Chain A
Amino acid sequence: MKRDALVAASFLIAFIFIAYVVTVKNILGLGGEELRPLSEFYLSHAFAHEGLTSHSPEVVTAIVWNYRGFDTLFETFVFFLAIMGALSILRLDREQLEHARELEGSMPHRQMDLIVKATTKLVVVMIIAISASIALHGHLTPGGGFQGGSAMAVAALLLFAAFSKFTLERRGLTLKHTISAYAAGLALILATILAPVVLYGGKVLEINLLPGETGLFNLDVGEYTAVTFGFLTVFLILGIPEWVFKNILRRELND
């Protein structure tokens, strides 16, 4: 216990020393008020009326989806691969899914308190509104598709916790629907990055050819849908209780 406290204190002192040296003594040369040429380019071009502009006062979104668009595109693909990996490890065919739903339905249904349910309903509506404003205003204010999408996934998680996964699946939030919506989001992203090539003869992801901020807006909406339903897909498949999985596997072995 004494050793733990010592280790913790020495880490803290080391951290504060490094923070002091980097910020006040400026040993790495990161401080200073002057702009570097690259940031000057971004600041002057992101919301200009001509040249390599992306028609967006939000420079971060402009960098993320336009100037460094391929980074974000491949990030989206990495996310896609992660979700496909989770799905292929934990996949169930149609019959097994039916069986899993039956088993979950037969579980003793424990109701949450009325207060918890009512509060969750209110909070979920607020989170959905905020996540929509984060994502749909992503080209005007801080935020964007990924941020809004993850906030939306949190709202769905609150519903899972307060009302159980089974209730939501009965209301129509099934694996089939979430995967379809995920595919729709990815399709919107792909359509937007290919639109400049098809319509204007530009390059892939040259979205400043599109009228106004359509390019950034479409990419934000696509990412919003993709991230929301991608997370939901993973949570739906991971939320199946372990004993249901074991039951299904045992049945597969007996067949």
Chain B
Amino acid sequence: MIELHLLILVIVVSFGFVFSYLAMKEHDLLKALALSSVQSTFFALGFYILAAPDIVLAYLAIAVGAYTALVILAISKTERYEVGE
């Protein structure tokens, strides 16, 4: 039968997918960045359920901290709103 942790894994990663989709559709780049870091938090939970704590430690620090900061620096050198279409 389905084990409980696999069920939690599916729920958590589905939330991650939802947030990554929202991040893709967002035209305000800073908001998209915030959504994408929420998505990485869910994926980090997924990695924890998959018993990979080493990955969790690196993934959280990189995806929520370093990656977000790099992209904010990149946005500060261009424009905040995505235009077109």
A230-255 to B contact mask, C-beta < 8 Å, 1/0: 01001100110110000000000000
Which residues of the other chain, A, contact B21 by a CB distance below 8 angstroms? 8, 11
Q: Is B2 among interface residues, defined by CB-CB distance under 8 A?
A: yes
Count A interface residues, CB 8 Å. Answer: 31
- What residues of A have a CB within 8 angstroms of the CB of B74 in the complex? 238
CA distance A143 to B64 in the complex (A): 17
Residue among B14, B58, B61 with max Cβ neighbours from chain A (10 Å): B61
Chain B residues whose C-beta falls within 8 Å of the C-beta of A150 in the assembled complex: 58, 61-62, 65-66
Whether, in the assembled complex, B18 has its beta carbon less than 8 Å from a beta carbon of chain A, the answer is yes
Considering only residues 1-40 of chain B, those with a C-beta below 8 Å from chain A are: 2, 6, 9-10, 13-14, 17-18, 21, 25
| B61 x A153 contact (CB < 8 A) | yes
- Given A16-B10, A19-B10, A150-B62: A239 in contact with B73 (beta carbons within 8 A): yes
Q: Is the CB of B65 within 8 A of A60?
A: no
Whether B53 contacts A142 by the Cβ 8 Å rule is: yes
Interface flag for A81 (CB, 8 Å): no
Q: Which of B14, B17, B57 contacts A151 (CB 8 A)?
A: B57
A4 in the interface (beta carbon within 8 A): yes
Contact B73 A235 (CB under 8 A): yes
Taking beta carbons and an 8 Å cutoff, which residues of A are in contact with B? 4, 8, 11-12, 15-16, 19, 23-24, 60-61, 134, 142-144, 146-148, 150-151, 153-154, 157, 160, 231, 234-235, 238-239, 241-242
Task: List 18 A-B pairs, Cβ < 8 Å.
Answer: A4-B25, A8-B21, A11-B17, A12-B17, A15-B13, A15-B14, A16-B10, A19-B9, A23-B2, A24-B2, A24-B6, A143-B57, A148-B57, A150-B66, A154-B65, A160-B69, A235-B69, A242-B76
